[in-house]
Amino acid sequence: MAKTVLMQGNEAAVEGALAAGMRFFAGYPITPSTEIAEACALRLPQEGGKFIQMEDELASIAAVLGASAAGMKAMTATSGPGFSLMQENIGYGAMAEIPCVIIDVQRAGPSTGLPTSPSQGDYMQAKWGTHGDHPVIALSPATVLECYTLIVRAFNLAEKYRTPVIFLMDEIVGHMREGIELPDPNRLIINHRKMSFHDGANKQCYYVPEGKYVPAMKPFGQGERYNITGLAHDESGFPVNSSEIAGKLITRLLDKVEKNVDDITRVEEYAMDDAETAVVCFGGTTRAVMDAVLAARADGKKVGMFRPITVWPFPEKQLLARLPQLKRILMVEHNHGQMLLEVQRTVGGTLPVDFLGRVDGTVISPSDILAKLNETEGQSHAE
Amino acid sequence: MGKKRYEMRFAGSGGQGVILASVILAEAAVISGLYTVQSQAYGPEARGGVSKAETILSSEKIWYSKVTHPDFLLALTQASLDAYTKTLADGAVVMMDDSLTLPKGVDRSRVISIPILRAAKEEVGKAFTANIVAVGAINAALRLFKDDILLEAVRRHIPAGTEEINKKALDIGAALIPQEQADVFAQKLG
Amino acid sequence: MPSDLVHLYMRIDHLPQIWCPGCGNGVIMHDVAVAIDELIHDEENSINREDIVIVSGIGCSSRAAGYLDFNSIHTTHGRAIAFASGIKMANPKLHVIVLTGDGDCSAIGGNHLIHAARRNLGLTVICFNNDIYGMTGGQYSPTTPNGDRATTAPYGNVDRPFDIANLATGAGASFSARGDVYHARETIDIIKQAIRHKGFSLVDVYSICPTYYGRKNKKGDAVEMLNWQKENLIPTARYYSMSEEDRVGKKIIGILSFNDYPEYTEEYAKIIASCRKARKK
């Protein structure tokens, strides 16, 4: 039997990343993500990997993309202000199709905000932070164990779809310690980018066969010369001034995620089978929601929990499947209503969607949620 | 445990090691096979001002990770004692350094006032062992964990070569609690 | 007909290049290609073409990465040195050459320049320094001389300029040098030494921009600007043979600082080795 160890969410993310094969980390200290950099500095050289503390977050994400292009599984970790600084190169990673993982341990903003306080205010930024239309995959863990297991999946998706993946943590989960049983690394499923070595038939470095969306990656600096650019480019990797080729490229980049949404999106549901009210939440907020749902159930109320684990793309199909049985939805998140917009879009006005949010840096408690459930219950009866 | 969820808060000033005390008790819970969640106030808040850490113990899976009304409070500074005695659960146990003044309105029969800071400095001989002295006293008073489990939990979180002085600090902390007091405050776990 | 060198090291399909007539950037790109060619064909200590990675940022200079037929990555504005740092860390055997400009490496990317220099990470940075933002049409850069004109300095530039080679020296670069367009042979030799250098190396190559900088400041055409370089930029040996009086207003072309500080990736490899050794015990 695996031994239970006491571990912090931030540390568990590092151990999971190492298990996934991460061997390069570049970062810049920022609360509340700093323990991730510290753990990488300690652990990476032990595994033959490399850590570098860069001069800022702009450099951190750039070094990560460089290292990944050169063949290493790479990641960085930051929080709100640093995440803002990284946005331009996250778009570069999407455009040039360089896999990597960016951990954002969210804290209360905007600006310097409340550096040590929890928040989920970067949800929309994870999707829309960089300019232009681009594919986005973001995953959000709710427990310390999930910091480990889900970041393995983050790397797998990054490698499979050749795109940056956002690992959207929050202060609640990042700074929490729990006893966890670490999975046996030999039993984890680990994906690696599909490589094409000297395949004489097609020298094009971004060649995508008909019906496929992801080009195999040529190793950079290992014997086969090619060009990588953030400019709109053709399959040879060189910039083009052709609206047709540019349009085809951007559409394919978006399709990588949109056409594989079933492979990418995951949700967790609790007590949803006969639920008439769904409390929707993600990340650290789940902890209070679970206690509230357990209390409501103990009180005989038909309340369930619906949690997107994949927060981008939003798992609309899974939520739509629950709509016929539901009478109302309560969205609970530590922001002013961000995932709420996705829920409202999905529901399309067919159900009342209530909202409980928090932007003062304090944590929403189970009793806050129970009070809101009672309040919305009264309202829907009145309707 | 009498209650399903036992909430503990540890408060002092930055540098007193209250976070480590909180982590050690969580570690002991893990070794004992209990569920635990540990968290703390970090960053600027933890430098100089009030420093706060929390450990929750339960025989069941713990979801909500924050302490709202602690069943136990350790306070090593006047500011933290004043601040956190306002939100105690019914019947909560307060352990305070005896150099501090108990605010009005706190049930004295549930207060353990002992010389943690002085014992660390004078009896152990190192002021920085105050947190380990406190851990020893907490466990003697609440009887949460077996002695060997607590010692192992401490060992996992201290630098190699400091085992002896930390063992001494645990023992001195435990000796601050008279047997009769422990009989009053003992918690039943699991 | 393109020369053999062009056929060998340039991506013919992507030529002609986009630079304006009279621009110095093509000469510097040629110098880089010649330097690499000579290193590849060095009988005593040749380097492998496939181990060369060209990294560029954004700006006129940075288009060179697309024309040179090596592993090439054209990154974002200012970040070439940071991308290059990740590439070098991931695969230290690579010769990572950053082609950048005065704006790219000393304004938006200035922080990365000084910190890569400080770390002594084994990159070679070649700055195509034309004293102006050319790609966006002639705005003043950190190397535009005080008082000169640009589209964003219609009344004369109030800023005082950087000397990029000295900036790198000040930041701890273990190899810092200056070259120019006119003294091509000297500049090729400097670039060769910079690529051979194990630690961080910077070559600040003075380019010419007759289209924007030259025209705005009445510096004449490309030939006149080259003549200015011939008269005022002096290779090291000649410079030191000149009297103090004659040196006034002149600048050295050559290596300005050199030392053998430990290289970053080699130092990090020692940490990995010691961690692994400790683990085996």
Q: Which of 130-169 (B) contact A at CB < 8 A?
A: none
Is there an interface between A and B (3+ Cβ pairs < 8 A)?
yes
Neighbours of B91 (CB within 10 A): 11
**Pairwise CB contact (< 8 Å): C91 & A221:** yes
Q: In DSSP terms, which residues pair with C119 in a beta bridge?
A: none
Q: Which of A185-189, A197-201, C193-197, C259-263 has the lowest mean pLDDT?
A: A197-201
Domain residue ranges in chain A: 4-187, 268-382
Residue B1: what pLDDT? 42
Residue A377: what pLDDT? 65
Two tokens at A51?
């850590």
Q: Do domains A4-187 and A268-382 have the same CATH topology?
A: yes
Selected residue with higher pLDDT from C147 and A199: C147
Residue C4 corresponds to which amino acid?
Answer: D
Element (H or E) spanning A151, and its range?
helix A144-161
Q: Give CA torsion, residues A312, A317, A323, A324, to 10 deg.
A: 180
Query: What's the sign of the alpha-carbon dihedral A142, A146, A152, A153?
Result: negative
Scored b (16 or more CB within 10 A) or e, B101-118 reads ebeeebeeebebebebbe
**Using a CB-CB distance cutoff of 8 angstroms, which residues of chain A are in contact with residue C272?**
45, 48-50
Find, among A354, A198, A210, the residue nearest to A281 by Cα: A354
- Name A176's Cβ contacts closer than 8 Å, sequence gap at least 6: A8, A9, A144, A284, B37, B38, B39, B65
Neighbours of B121 (CB within 10 A): 16
Find, among A70, A18, A12, A8, the residue nearest to A44 by Cα: A18
Mean pLDDT, chain B, as a whole number?
92
Find, among A57, A29, A52, A224, the residue nearest to C89 by Cα: A52
Alpha helices in A265-326 (DSSP H): 286-298, 316-322
**Using a CB-CB distance cutoff of 8 angstroms, which residues of chain A are in contact with residue C89?**
24, 26, 50, 52, 63, 66-67
What is the full per-residue pLDDT of chain A (383 aa) written as tens digits? 468 999 999 999 999 999 999 999 999 999 999 999 999 999 999 999 999 999 999 999 999 999 999 999 999 999 999 999 999 999 999 999 999 999 999 999 999 998 889 999 999 999 999 999 999 999 999 999 999 999 999 999 999 999 999 999 999 999 999 999 999 988 999 999 988 865 555 568 899 988 899 999 987 888 888 999 999 999 999 998 899 999 999 999 999 999 999 999 999 999 999 999 999 999 999 999 999 999 999 999 999 999 999 999 999 999 999 999 999 999 999 999 999 999 999 999 999 999 999 999 999 999 999 999 998 665 654 44
Residue B185: what pLDDT? 85
Contact between residue A64 and residue A54 where contact means Cβ atoms under 8 Å apart: no
**Pairwise CB contact (< 8 Å): A175 & B68:** no
**Pairwise CB contact (< 8 Å): C89 & A24:** yes
Contact between residue C141 and residue C103 where contact means Cβ atoms under 8 Å apart: yes
- Name B153's Cβ contacts closer than 8 Å, sequence gap at least 6: B24, B25, B27, B28, B31, B145
End-to-end CA distance of chain C: 64
* Backbone angle region of C244, left / alpha / beta, with phi > 0 → left and psi within -120 to 50 → alpha: alpha
Q: What is the CATH architecture assignment of A4-187?
A: 3-Layer(aba) Sandwich (3.40)
CATH superfamily label, B5-185: Pyruvate-ferredoxin oxidoreductase, PFOR, domain III (3.40.920.10)
The Cα of A74 is separated from the nearest Cα of chain C by a number of Å equal to 9
User: Does C211 have pLDDT greater than 80?
Assistant: yes
Q: How many CB pairs under 8 A join A and C?
A: 141
Residue A378: what pLDDT? 56
**Using a CB-CB distance cutoff of 8 angstroms, which residues of chain A are in contact with residue B46?**
116
Q: Which of A116, A176, A291 is facing B41, going by the closest CB pair? A: A116
Q: Which of 37-76 (B) contact A at CB < 8 A?
A: 37-46, 62-66, 68
What is the full per-residue pLDDT of chain B (190 aa) written as tens digits? 446 899 999 999 888 899 999 999 999 999 999 999 999 986 554 455 778 999 999 999 999 999 999 999 999 999 999 999 999 999 999 999 999 999 999 999 999 999 999 999 999 999 999 999 999 999 999 999 999 999 999 999 999 999 999 999 999 999 999 888 777 888 876 4
User: Does C1 have pLDDT greater than 70?
Assistant: no
Full residue range of the structural domain in which residue C206 is found: 4-280
Two tokens at B139?
């466990």
d(CA A267, CA B12): 41
Q: Is the preceding omega at residue A209 within 30 degrees of 0, hence cis?
A: no
Residue A382: what pLDDT? 42
Q: What is the CATH architecture assignment of A268-382?
A: 3-Layer(aba) Sandwich (3.40)
The residues of A whose Cβ lies within 8 A of any Cβ of B are 4-6, 31-32, 115-116, 172, 175-179, 284, 286-288, 290-291, 294, 363, 365-366
As a whole number, mean pLDDT of residues C98-105 equals: 98
- Burial zone of A198 (CB within 10 Å; 0-12 exposed, 13-18 middle, 19+ buried): exposed
d(CA B91, CA C99): 70
**Using a CB-CB distance cutoff of 8 angstroms, which residues of chain A are in contact with residue B38?**
6, 176-178
**Pairwise CB contact (< 8 Å): A45 & C51:** no
What distances in angstroms separate CA A92 from CA A154, A163, A322, C181, one per listed residue?
18, 10, 37, 32
- Name B161's Cβ contacts closer than 8 Å, sequence gap at least 6: none
Neighbours of B90 (CB within 10 A): 8
**Cα–Cα–Cα angle for C7, C11, C13, nearest 5°?**
105
- Burial zone of C240 (CB within 10 Å; 0-12 exposed, 13-18 middle, 19+ buried): exposed
ipTM for this prediction: 0.96
Two tokens at A283?
């990340």
d(CA A305, CA A271): 7
* Backbone angle region of A76, left / alpha / beta, with phi > 0 → left and psi within -120 to 50 → alpha: beta
d(CA C115, CA A164): 26
d(CA B178, CA C194): 75
Contact between residue B52 and residue B80 where contact means Cβ atoms under 8 Å apart: yes
d(CA C252, CA C204): 11
Neighbours of C224 (CB within 10 A): 13
| The total number of residues written for chain C in this structure | 281
The nearest alpha carbon in chain A to C270 belongs to A45
Output the DSSP codes for C105-123.
HHTTTHHHHHHHHHHT-SE
Element (H or E) spanning A223, and its range?
none
Long-range contacts of B89-98 (CB under 8 A, 24+ apart): B89/B7, B93/B141, B93/B142, B93/B185, B95/B134, B95/B137, B95/B138, B95/B141
Q: Which of A6, A179, A290 is facing B63, going by the closest CB pair? A: A290
Contact between residue A107 and residue A114 where contact means Cβ atoms under 8 Å apart: yes
Long-range contacts of A113-117 (CB under 8 A, 24+ apart): A113/A80, A113/A361, A114/A361, A115/A31, A115/A32, A115/A79, A115/B43, A115/B44, A116/A31, A116/A32, A116/A171, A116/B41, A116/B42, A116/B43, A116/B44, A116/B45, A116/B46, A117/A171, A117/A361, A117/A362
Contact between residue A142 and residue A168 where contact means Cβ atoms under 8 Å apart: no
Q: Which of C55, C75, C89 is facing A67, going by the closest CB pair? A: C89
**Using a CB-CB distance cutoff of 8 angstroms, which residues of chain B are in contact with residue A294?**
63
Find, among B36, B70, B25, the residue nearest to A176 by Cα: B36
The Cα of A28 is separated from the nearest Cα of chain B by a number of Å equal to 15
Neighbours of C86 (CB within 10 A): 31
The residues of C whose Cβ lies within 8 A of any Cβ of A are 11, 14, 50-51, 53, 55, 65-66, 69-76, 78-79, 82-91, 94, 111-112, 115, 268, 271-272, 275-276, 279
Residue A141: what pLDDT? 98
**Pairwise CB contact (< 8 Å): C76 & A62:** yes
Q: How many CA atoms lie within 13 A of C70 on its CB side?
A: 29
d(CA C192, CA A183): 51
CATH number at residue C131: 3.40.50.970
Q: Which of A31, A284, A365 is facing B42, going by the closest CB pair? A: A31
Residue C200: what pLDDT? 98
Output the DSSP codes for A90-122.
HHHHHHHT--EEEEEEEEE-STT-EEEEE--TT
Residue B15: what pLDDT? 83
**Cα–Cα–Cα angle for C184, C185, C187, nearest 5°?**
65
Two tokens at C141?
């850069």
The residues of A whose Cβ lies within 8 A of any Cβ of C are 24, 26, 45-46, 48-50, 52, 54-56, 58-60, 62-72, 74, 88-89, 92, 96, 220-231, 238-239
Q: Which of A6, A115, A288 is facing B27, going by the closest CB pair? A: A6
